[in-house]
Amino acid sequence: MERKDEFMKLYRKWQQLPPGPRAELRRANRPEDLLEIPAFYRLFSGMGNKEWEKEAVQRLIFCLPCIKDHTDHPISLGEALAKKWDGGRAAVSEKRLFQVIRSTAPNDMIQLRRILKMAEPVVNWPKAAKTIWDWNDRSKRDLLEQYFLNSSAN
C-alpha cells in the first residue's frame, strides 16, 4: 500500500471516531500525551513498525485534530497557512511560522499544532501528512517555502 493510501486511511479512521475520543485527542498538549489516550491506539494500529515510523504516526495523530478538512485540490500545508482571510492577512503570521521552524523537537510540533489549531486549515491531507511524516529540517524549509510562495501570490 502506498503511503498516500495509508494517510487517507488514517484520515478516514479519524473521521469515524466518536466525538468523545476525538475530543480526548484534541486535548493532548504534547505528542507524548497521546500515549495515555485509548483513541490514539485505535488510530495508530498497524501503521508503524520501526521506531521512527511510530514517531511519525504519533506526529500525524497529534496534528490531525487541528486540520479542518481534506480537499482533493493540491493544497499543501504551507499554502493553507498562507491563505488570506479578513483584512487581507495570512491565516498564520510569518513570526509564528518562524517559531515552528526554529524550534526543536518536541516544541516544533507543539508550535505547529498551535498554529494549525488557530488557522484550522483545509489541506490535501496526503500532501500535508507527508510534510508531518517526514518532519525534519528539510520539510520545515519546504513548509516555509510553500508559505512564502503562496503568500506573495495572494
Residue located via cell numbers 521552524: 101
Grid cell for residue 140: 520545515
Distance CA 80, CA 31 (A): 22
Tens digit of pLDDT for each residue in 6-25? 999 999 999 999 999 999 99
CATH topology of domain 3-153: Peroxidase; domain 1 (1.10.520)
- Residue 2 φ/ψ, nearest 5 degrees: -70, 150
pLDDT of 45: 83
Distance CA 138, CA 52 (A): 16
pLDDT of 1: 41
- Alpha-helical (H) ranges within 45-123 are 51-63, 77-82, 94-102, 107-119
**Residue 89 clears pLDDT 70, i.e. is over it:** no
Tens digit of pLDDT for each residue in 13-64? 999 999 999 999 999 999 999 999 999 999 998 788 899 999 999 999 999 9
For the residues 100-127, what does the mean pLDDT come to? 95
How does the average pLDDT of the chain come out, rounded? 92
For the residues 96-117, what does the mean pLDDT come to? 95
Domain boundaries in the chain?
A: 3-153
**Residue 72 clears pLDDT 70, i.e. is over it:** yes
CA 99 to chain centre: 16
Task: Yes or no: say if 71 and 124 are a contact pair by the CB < 8 Å rule.
Answer: yes
Distance CA 8, CA 29 (A): 24
